[in-house]
Structure formats: structure tokens, C-alpha cells
Copies of this chain bind each other. A is one copy, B any other.
Amino acid sequence: MTINWQQLFAERTARMQASDIREILKVIAQPDIISLAGGLPAPELFPVDHFRRAFEWVWETNGQAALQYSITEGYPPLRQFLAARMARTFGIRTTAEEILITNGSQQGLDLLGKIFLDPGDKVALERPSYLGAIQAFDQYQAEYAIVPMDEDGMQTEALEELLQRETRVKLIYAVPNFQNPSGRTMSLERRQHLVRLSAKFGVPVVEDDPYGELRYEGEPLPSLKSLDTAGSVIYLGTFSKILAPGFRLGWVVASGAAYEQLVLAKQPTDLQTATASQMAFYEVCKDGFVDQHVERIKEVYGERRLTMLRAMQTYFPEGVRWSNAQGGLFFWVMLPEHIDARELLVDAIKEKVAFVAGQAFHADGSGRNTMRLNFSNATPEKLEEAIKRLGRTIERRVGVTNVVRG
């Protein structure tokens, strides 16, 4: 008998699809393509020498322990460092005992789905929202309650109506700073309102904050977790965008039973995150290097953002609009209504430019005419060239569509 795999697979696999983003990473492996597709940091900024010295220190001082099994919660000095740094940087009052080290924020999302979501349970999501979060929750057969956004972020009035109406909302998922994909930032009033709603309705907020430190314009706003008095905000942090993503190191901040349940869920998932990597990150961070490094990243990405902004103003035809991304890694572009960004992508790849079509970020299937452009990975020269080519491609498609319609 041949194995009939499809018949054996669990129902949840019907919701596991190849990610547009991961798949496009394969296409863009061709070296002559300029990619605005991934959320990839600039590799030339990675502090390779600091990691070299940090690992040297690990082998010198802690070699055997670094290679042995360790506790699920994570390396205590790293968790203590993170608690102190979050207090200083984001005004978050927490302790090492509330921090769980994860394999990137993506594992944090997976574990949250695992502990909160039965099939049919709902997650309140911004429209658009982070694809990786939708995919993590999809695994647990979640349904979505979609909350519209505007330039001030999630429309919390709409969330309030939704929470009054919907009974199965288990989580509210938000990226308040320079959201992926929209680049938008939630206003202070909306932040306060969101935290109040969470406490009032007894529904936890997942604050996913990979970009919070990468602000190039304007003033920082308090994190949701720093406004949280009911203990209902679960904060996800990551080293991926401020140091390096390849080690997959992130953390979750949660209180009480939520923390304990996350630890109980990580044990059977993979026991623990790599010991030596946690030690090395602690060593890289502990003497203030990460703060200097964030300044360096902001300088470089800030310039790239400006380059892309000016190029869009110069080369994009009328009728194309974009978000005011004051930080983060992305501009969010709204094409004329009749343009399908997936079709545009096919044209763009012929012009050796790649981006991500926006529909994948919409759990309700809308957003056909949107696209996400990354400005952190390519050099300013390449960014300008890419936007120039993309402008031409959009113009041609506007033309084609007009002819077909005419």
C-alpha cells in the first residue's frame, strides 16, 4: 500500500500555505534582482566582529554549560538584561521572571496560538496585518475579526464595537510601531483606548514590537505594555531587527498564568532556545553596544527611507499613494483601484525588481491594489533604481488597463 499522505494530514494543514514572502525569497536569490520584498536587515551592518568576540568569550568562560541542556525559560543573565533595558527604553516594568526567550518572535506567535486558540476562536487583527502572525494563528484554525486602520493605526472605536458583538475573541493582535506591512504608527489616544478595552473586555492584547526602536522621524510613543495596568498586554520583542535575525532570538513578556502556560508550551515544542546563542547575545549586549548599534542602524535606514520616499515622489505616476512610515522597514503603497499588485509583480520581476503584493496581509482577502516596499536591505543607489523601474512598470500597467477598459 502506498501511503496516502493527504488523507493522514490533520485538518489544520489545509490552512498551511507556502508564504508569498518565503517563496519570493527564493526567486530573488538571483543576484541581479533588486529586492524590496523581504523584511531583511542590511547585512553590511551586522556586527560580525562583536559576535566573534562574544562567542570567543562563551568558549573561554562557559564552554561546557553553553553546549549542555538548560532551562526552558532562557539564560537568566540575558533575561535580567532585557528586563532592565525594556524599562529604560520603553518604560516597561517587568522582571526576568516574566520573560521567556523564544526562537524569534515567530515562535512567540506560534506559542500564543498554541495556548489560546481552539478551532473557530477569533483573533482581532488590523487590516492589513503581519503575514507571519496570520500564518501562526492559521495553524490553530483561528477565525479573524478584522479591525480597519487609518493613518493613526488600528481604529479602536471599531474594535470596541466588535468586542461588544463578538463572543469568541481570544486575542487582539497589534503592531503599534511602524506596522508591518502598512508602516503606520498607532496614536497615543488609540494606545490608551486599546489597553482600556483589553482590560474592560478581559481580552489580552499581543503587542508585537520588532521595529519600536527604529524611528527616523517624530517622537517615540509609549508601548502598550508600559500603559498596561491589568497585566493584559503580552509583549513580543526580538533581536532580529536591532542585531541580527539569523540566530532566531526573541522574547515574550507575560504575567502570571499566561507566562507559566507559555513555558509549559515551549517544553514539548523544542525544550529550550540554544544556550550558547543566548550567552553570546548577552555578551554582545551587556555593555551598551546595542544602544550604539541601534543609532547606527537608524542613521543608515533613515537615509534609505528618505531616498525611497523622494524616488517615489519623482518616479511614481499620479494616483499612487503611500503611508507616512516614520520608522521601521517598509512603505505601504496603494495603487489605483484597478491595478492588481500580483500582476504588477510579474511585470516587475521582468524588470528585475521584486516586492510583496499586499493581498497576503489581508486576512479577509482584500487589498488587491496594495504592495509593500522594503527600504532596509538595498543600498540607496539600488533603491532609487528600483523605484524608477517600478514607476515605469506601474505606468505601463495603468496604460494597458486603460486600453483594455477603453
Contact = CB atoms under 8 A, between A and B. Distances in A.
A48 B63 contact: yes
Interface in A129-173: 132, 135-136, 138-140, 170
A199 B274 CA distance: 37
Interface string A39-70: 01101101011011001100100011111111
A200 B109 CA distance: 39
A248 B69 CA distance: 9
Contact of A244 (B26, B38, B68): B68
9 contacts: A3-B232, A41-B68, A43-B68, A46-B64, A51-B67, A110-B268, A136-B269, A247-B276, A248-B270
Interface string A2-16: 111110111111001
Question: What is the total number of copies of this protein in its complex?
Answer: 2
A18 B266 CA distance: 11
A185 interface: no
A246 B69 contact: yes
Given A11-B118, A106-B270, A5 B256 contact: yes
Interface residues of A, number: 93
A245 B67 CA distance: 6
Contacts of A44: 64
Contacts of A136: 268-269
Contacts of A256: 5
Interface in A69-83: 69-72
A244 B65 CA distance: 10
Nearest to A7: B202
A335 to B, nearest CB: 27
A114 B12 contact: yes
B204 A8 contact: yes
B3 A231 contact: yes
A117 B1 CA distance: 21
Given A2-B230, A9-B115, A275 B246 contact: yes
A84 interface: no
A272 interface: yes
Contact of A257 (B5, B106, B231, B257): B5
Contacts of A11: 118
